[in-house]
């Protein structure tokens, strides 16, 4: 049985999950709630997904708060982090999950699309990671930073030059943060999912040829669901993971283990 990390022993831990209103982030937010944490759910715009996620968290008996911010905007990020600290007193774990992947051929890719993907996926991880880490250091240290990366940080992808590059950058951001923050008892790791069917790729996966190719390339024999990712994130947010830092944990049904 794992124990989620809490900087105040005996007090329920506090987790902030970016992009927590739907998809993998919603699964992670609900996973923290079921494991006894108080959860701040970051989102950009109010949505049915946000209301549903807040309802699921509260249904499991946990406290939840909304934390609005575009992760690519430093002023909004700082206001969000301050708001969560005001609301819950502190942050013990931050999950850097917010991300976008507007599929586009390399030859067609406009500069502003490249910039936006970098801003959300890479700069957003830096801004939120730094703001929360500064708070963790200020409150005396101890903490967990868990990024949701991607197997697309390890291999290229058609229509994903911006996304793969942003996720590869995020891997080394996390490793660099792990070095800087180790003296403060703050661990920094990434979970790298394979293909999980969510809003980010639902349209692309309507292409049956693509879907069949992805399933065939996944030894476990199916695409992932958000729940497949939650356990690895909770482990990295646990007390027991104190000696795990700078790690990239692949959770992909075996996809990157085969050339099929």
Out of ligand RM4, ligand NAD, none, what residue 7 binds, judged by CB under 5 to 8 A for its kind, is none
Gap between the Cα atoms of 58 and 60, Å rounded: 5
Q: Which residues, including other chains, have CB under 8 Å from residue 1's CB and lie 6 or more apart? A: none
Q: Is 163 assigned a catalytic role? A: yes
Q: Is 150 assigned a catalytic role? A: yes
Out of ligand NAD, ligand RM4, none, what residue 186 binds, judged by CB under 5 to 8 A for its kind, is none
Nearer to ligand NAD, 139 or 175 (CB): 175
Gap between the Cα atoms of 76 and 101, Å rounded: 22
Nearer to ligand NAD, 6 or 174 (CB): 174
Out of ligand RM4, ligand NAD, none, what residue 143 binds, judged by CB under 5 to 8 A for its kind, is none
Contact 186, 133 (CB under 8 A): yes
Out of ligand NAD, ligand RM4, none, what residue 187 binds, judged by CB under 5 to 8 A for its kind, is none
Query: Least distance to ligand RM4 from the beta carbon of 103, Å?
Result: 8
Residue where the block lists tokens 């936006």 = 116
Nearer to ligand RM4, 79 or 109 (CB): 109
Gap between the Cα atoms of 196 and 136, Å rounded: 31
Query: Least distance to ligand NAD from the beta carbon of 49, Å?
Result: 7
Alpha-carbon Rg for the chain, nearest whole angstrom, is 17
Gap between the Cα atoms of 165 and 50, Å rounded: 29
Out of ligand NAD, ligand RM4, none, what residue 157 binds, judged by CB under 5 to 8 A for its kind, is ligand RM4
Q: Is 235 assigned a catalytic role? A: no
State the alpha helices, DSSP H only, in the chain.
Answer: 23-34, 48-59, 74-88, 111-117, 124-138, 161-181, 208-216, 227-236
Nearer to ligand NAD, 77 or 85 (CB): 77
Contact 150, 160 (CB under 8 A): no
Q: Residue 52 — φ and ψ, nearest 5°?
A: -65, -40
Of the candidates 123, 153, 163, 165, the residue annotated as catalytic is: 163
Of the candidates 6, 167, 190, 238, the residue annotated as catalytic is: 167
- Residue 77's alpha-carbon distances to 89, 132, 229, 239, in angstroms, are 17, 10, 25, 27
Gap between the Cα atoms of 59 and 33, Å rounded: 9
For 31, the enclosing helix (H) or strand (E) is helix 23-34
Query: Least distance to ligand NAD from the beta carbon of 107, Å?
Result: 23
The site for ligand RM4 (CB under 6 A) is made up of 101, 150-152, 157, 160, 195, 200-201
The site for ligand NAD (CB under 6 A) is made up of 18-19, 21-25, 42-44, 70-72, 97-101, 120, 124, 148, 150, 193, 195-196, 198-201
Of the candidates 7, 21, 150, 238, the residue annotated as catalytic is: 150
Residues serving a catalytic function are 150, 163, 167
């Amino acid at each position: 049985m794992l124990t989620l990390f809490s900087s105040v022993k005996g007090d329920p831990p506090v987790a902030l999950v970016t992009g927590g209103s739907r998809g993998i982030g919603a699964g992670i937010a609900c996973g923290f709630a079921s494991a006894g944490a108080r959860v701040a759910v970051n989102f950009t715009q109010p949505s049915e997904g946000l209301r549903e996620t807040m309802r699921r968290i509260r249904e499991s008996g946990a406290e939840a708060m909304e934390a609005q911010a575009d992760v690519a905007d430093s002023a909004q990020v700082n206001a969000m982090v301050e708001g969560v600290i005001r609301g819950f007193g502190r942050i013990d774990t931050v999950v850097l999950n917010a991300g976008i992947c507007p599929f586009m051929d390399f030859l067609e890719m406009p500069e502003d699309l490249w910039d936006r993907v970098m801003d959300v996926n890479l700069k957003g991880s830096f801004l939120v990671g730094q703001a929360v880490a500064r708070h963790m250091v200020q409150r005396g240290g101890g903490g967990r930073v868990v990024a949701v990366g991607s197997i697309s940080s390890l291999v290229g992808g058609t229509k994903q030059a911006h996304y793969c590059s942003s996720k590869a950058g995020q891997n080394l951001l996390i490793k660099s943060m792990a070095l800087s923050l180790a003296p403060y008892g703050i661990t920094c790791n990434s979970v790298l999912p394979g293909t999980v069917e969510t809003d980010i790729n639902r349209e692309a996966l309507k292409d049956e040829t693509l879907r069949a190719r992805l399933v065939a390339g996944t030894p476990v024999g199916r695409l992932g669901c958000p729940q497949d990712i939650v356990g690895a994130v909770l482990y990295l947010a646990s007390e027991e993971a104190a000696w795990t830092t700078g790690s990239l944990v692949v959770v992909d049904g075996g996809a990157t283990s085969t050339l099929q």
